[in-house]
Every structure is written in C-alpha cells, then in structure tokens.
Structure 1
Amino acid sequence: MGYRVVVVGATGNVGREMLNILAEREFPIDEIAVLASSRSQGSEIDFGETGKKLKVQNVEHFDFTGWDIALFAAGSAPTKIYAPKAASQGCVVIDNSSLYRMDPDVPLIVPEVNPDAIDGYKARNIIANPNCSTAQMVVALKPLHDKAKIKRVVVATYQSVSGAGKEGMDELFEQSRAIFVGDQVEPKKFTKQIAFNVIPHIDSFLDDGSTKEEWKMVAETKKILDPKVKVTATCVRVPVFIGHSEAINLEFEDEISAVEAQDLLREAPGVMLVDKREDGGYVTPVECVGDYATYVSRVREDSTVDNGLSLWCVSDNLRKGAALNAVQIAELLGRRHLKKG
C-alpha cells in the first residue's frame, strides 16, 4: 500500500528531478498529481523513465484533502500561498524553497545528519529542505563532527548555474555560443557575464557585506548540525551547468588526522570518498551529475591551525541539493510517521 503524492512546481528543473527520483527509488505511490501555474495547465510531463505521462494541473484549484505528501519545488512566492493550504488540509508539505527553513516550528532536515528532528513536523505540518550548498556540506561534515567536534568552518563554493534555474542554464549556453561566434554578450539572469567567468555573488547583498546565499549556509548549518559551530562562507557562481563544488577548511576541538577522517568518510551514509593522491584521483562536477552521493576528495591536514583539515566536496545540486533530499525526507517521514499497510 502506497501514498498519494503531489509534486508542486513539477515543470521546473527541481520538480522534474523529483519525479525522476521518485520513479528511480520506487517510492511507494498509489496516486500522483503534478501541479504548476495556469501557464502549464494541461501539458504533459514524464514520470521518470516509467513511460507514464502525467497531466499538469493548476495549483490554484487543487484540493489537497486526502493526499499524504506534497513535495514543493515552486519558489517562495507560490509556496507562501499554497503550502499552508496543503498543510491545513492534512497533507504534509516538504518544501524546497527558503521560506520556512529558519522557522523554529519547522524542522530543517538532511536525513543522514539530523533524522530525529523530523519528529517536530506536526507543529506546522511542514518540513523544510535546506539550501543546495548547505545540504551537501553537512553530509560531509556530520561524521567528522561526531568524531572530533567542529569548531569552525571556512567554505568557498563553486556553484553551477542550474542553481539559478533554467534561465541560468540558458544564459550560460547562449553566452558561450555568442562568444564563440563573436557576438556581444548581455547579462540578464546574472549580474555579470557568466560564460568563461566566475561571479562572487549569489542572491542579494546584506548590510554586513555578505550575500543571502552565504547567510543561508551559516544559519542552516547551525540549525542542522550544531548551533555552536562557527561558519563563514564565500559563495561563487561558476560556468558549470550542474554540480556544486566546495573547498572546505575545518578546525576541530579534538585531534583528528587525515587518515582518520578518510576512514570515517568512507563509511558515512550518503558520502562517497574518492581520494587518491594522483592525477585525476578526485571528483569534479562533471562526474557527479545524475548520482546520489556527496563526493569527498582532497582530504588533508591543515598545519596552520591546531586540529585542522581541508577537503573538497562535490554533489549534483539538483539531486542531493534539492530533489533527492526532498524524496529522502519523504522516505524518512513514511518510515517514522506515515506508515502504510
């Protein structure tokens, strides 16, 4: 016996990926509905590689009564309207936007890191999915924190354009083509040229000079992993279509060697350690696309601080950073609270 599942924002990059992953992981579904704005109403989308076509319904007119789980990939504005409606009608919302992440009554979940926190979902009937760059980082940090207690995290991200949606991917493609044929490049989605360039600016600027993306990494890591951990982030958009990378420097309370860290990461849930100290003995974004794992490479000791490590972390941001984590939350919710049969 399965669940009645709704995917809201099903026509976007993350929504489509949610459908792919639900199908790949054979999530127990009795009935599925796909919702989007009125512009997409009546169109059809694939349910992964099952061969099944799903007709898109208008979210404005949908009744969530009797549905078990709603996976939201619609952005903050529509979510603000429809997530409370779904929750009030008895459907548990798993939201991919930033809207509810810091709400004290809404659990912010990465199943490999803080599964027990999901038990608080009944306060609002809503569970939040973290920011893509936060999700992969905390999966890598969790086993190390459990062993030696992380004091401080310094992270620089290299975030792909798919994090900015289809418009971001289109802009990279169009600018790259324009440069090759000698046409003028006009930034639209991004603040500067993204093709053959990097932009140290994601989301809006805050009063202290950081960006909202950087603030998210700080605040979300504290909520998911440990409020005592100090975090500083520099988030950079790079000309990569899919896959976020992170250079992470860690300072621990207790001693931990690179070999110990490698052993822990090798056995950690959700982590794939690829760390050969040779040419090509590490993972890059191109190689992580379509995979579930958070890849860790380049684990080494940092001699500039006591108990320091540096590492390289790569993951498919549309998967672990968004759609996969949401489906894993649904699986966790099913095991702990919505048992069928």
Structure 2
Amino acid sequence: MGYRIAVVGATGNVGREMLNILAEREFPVKEIAALASRRSLGTEVSFGDKTLTTLDLDTFDFSGWDMALFAIGSDATKKYAPIAAKAGCVVIDNSSLYRYEHDIPLIVPEVNPDAIYDYKNRNIIANPNCSTAQMVVALKPLHDRARIKRVVVSTYQSVSGSGKEAMDELWNQTKGMYVPGQEVAPSVYPKQIAFNVIPHIDVFLEDGSTKEEWKMVVETKKIVDPMIKVTATCVRVPVFVGHSESINIEFEDFLDEDEAREILREAPGILVVDKREPGGYTTPVECVGDYATFISRIRQDSTIENGLNLWCVSDNLRKGAALNTVQIAELLGRKVLKKG
C-alpha cells in the first residue's frame, strides 16, 4: 500500500523541501516522481537516501497517480494543474492561483481540516500564503475560546519568500558592502535589501495596500472566520529564512494572557517559548528547519478592552509552503483516500 506522488517543480526551493519533508515524515509513498520544466530536465534531487532524476512535466501522464504537489508558480500551474486534476490526480497547489476561488478549499490542517472534503469540487486543494499560514495556526485556538473581532499584524518576511534569486541578492549585496567597487544594485527588489527593510511585498493595489497584505486579509477570512477584520503591513527584511509577525488581537470576550498561553501550549502545531527575560523568545534563525510555529511575547494589550499581543515565528519554506502542503497530503490520505 501507499501513494503514488508527483512533486511538480522539484528543483526549486519549495519543491526540494517538499521532497525532504515527505521523507522526514515517512509519508507512505509507493512511487514518487520529481517533475520539472525541460530546462531542468535530468537534474538530480534527493528524496531521503534516494536520488531522483527529474522527469519532463510537459509530457508526464498523471493518470494513476494519487496526488501532485505543485510548487511552480501561478502561470505554469494554470496550464498543468487542470491536466493533472482531469486525469484523476488530486492537486495540492502552493501558488496563489486557486486560493480565492469559492469552490476550491484553502487549508491549514490544524485550523480547518474538514474543508478537505471539498477537494471533490475540482480535484484541487490550495495552500495558503506563507504569512497567513503561520498566523492562522496561532489565531484559531484563541478564536475558539474568545471570538476574534480584529487583527492588526505587521510581518517581517525573509527573502526566501521571493525565491533563490532574492537570497542570492541579499548575500551578494551584503558581501559588496565590505568590498569597495563591488556593490550590487537592486534587481529582485526595488531597493537595497542588505542592512535594510522594505515595506513592499507584491504589487500595490488602488487602496495603497499591497497584494501580500490583501492576501492575509482574504485568506484569514476564508480559513478561520469571514467576520474577522484584518489589517496588515507586510515588510521584507534581510533574513534568509523564517518569517516573523507582530500580532495584535482584539477579542469579543476577555482572554487573560495566562489562559491564552496555556491554550496555545495545547494547540496543534504550536510551540510556546515565552520567558520574560533576555533571549526568552524565538527568532527566525532559531526556527529554521523546524515544523512548529513558535509563539512568544504573549501579553495583554491595555489600550483596548479585550486585547492581546504576541510574536509569531515560523520557517516559511516549511509551514509557510512545503510542510503545509505535505500536511494537506497526509490529511487527504487519512480522511479520504485511505491507502496509507
């Protein structure tokens, strides 16, 4: 028994991480295929102690395959995901293409697992934006207790969220700062990212917000509760991996910080590190490679009647992308396909 799994975009950062996590979590794989575009054809990628050679996505037959984990961006997904879905292979897509379509489930397994059954609508499941994924893991158990009215979030997002070229740009700009004449001009980002922060992720919208901020609003409503009001400011910071968020929450009912801390300690997918002393919190460097969403700095907000502040950190390549995708695959297998 086991599943036939295709990883689409297996040579990219997220695709490689999907393969790593499938192996780490001992996902019941009967057969696995690493798919890539023709320019990456024949590239070798690791899957546990095995080495896989990438196959041509353009000619791959998805018939008879159980799941396809997509990590290739919206344009390519728009072409290939319907082909896989029509062939009977369930698509779990990491791009933003399908997140906002009413008949496609948008899932974070710790938050809305029952949405998995809606995959039958189009044989496609969407994975949320990286910044949304970690935030809703923290919000859901608190919302169940005291009902969230409003969330104000500021994000501090690593460059890996923009891909390998962005990571290279940060590295090269940092080196260039110390070598006269070797400064590196911005290419991926509109301004220098080394030793700087950029309050601009994705395109600007008419109301002055960016699309990344809009995503956090819309996705939180779809995953947790459409009545929650969300306002976000999303910022790119000179960190290679790991997104951080400062979250202010206003509740309908009073929730004491100590009770909130205990609720979060018991919640799935969360690790609370909250000591009121130097170093008694989690930073992006410390979350890299970990499955958990880390919560720190839990404290009452005295400026409103029912408010809390907290600090949220997670590996964006894992919980924000590859890990959540694999968790969706596990959920699909456990609740629906049942071949494992």
TM-score (normalizing by structure 2)? 0.99
After the TM superposition, which residues 21-100 of structure 1 pair with which residues of structure 2 at under 5 Å, given as runs? 21-47=21-47, 50-100=48-98
Match in the other structure for 1:212: 211
1:239 positional shift: 0.1
Please say which of residues 295-304 and 177-186 is displaced more in the overlay: 177-186
| Secondary structure, aligned partner of 2:128 | coil
Matched to 1:94, the amino acid is I
Match in the other structure for 1:339: 338
After the TM superposition, which residues 1-341 of structure 1 pair with which residues of structure 2 at under 5 Å, given as runs? 1-47=1-47, 50-182=48-180, 183-340=182-339
Cα distance in 1 between the residues matched to 2:314 and 2:130: 9
1:283 positional shift: 0.1
1:184 positional shift: 2.4
Cα distance in 2 between the residues matched to 1:338 and 1:169: 38
Deviations 1:29-80 (A, max 9, x none): 0100011110011121111xx2211010111001100000000000001000
Contact 2:11 2:43 in 1 (8 A): no
| Secondary structure, aligned partner of 1:180 | coil
Deviations 1:273-324 (A, max 9, x none): 0000001000000000000000000000001111000000000000000000
1:252 positional shift: 0.1
Unaligned runs of 5+ in 2: none
Matched to 2:218, the amino acid is A
Runs ≥4 residues deviating over 4 A: none
Q: Give aligned-pair identity as a percent.
A: 74
Cα distance in 2 between the residues matched to 1:213 and 1:284: 22
Cα distance in 2 between the residues matched to 1:245 and 1:132: 11
Please say which of residues 180-189 and 273-282 is displaced more in the overlay: 180-189
1:180 positional shift: 1.3
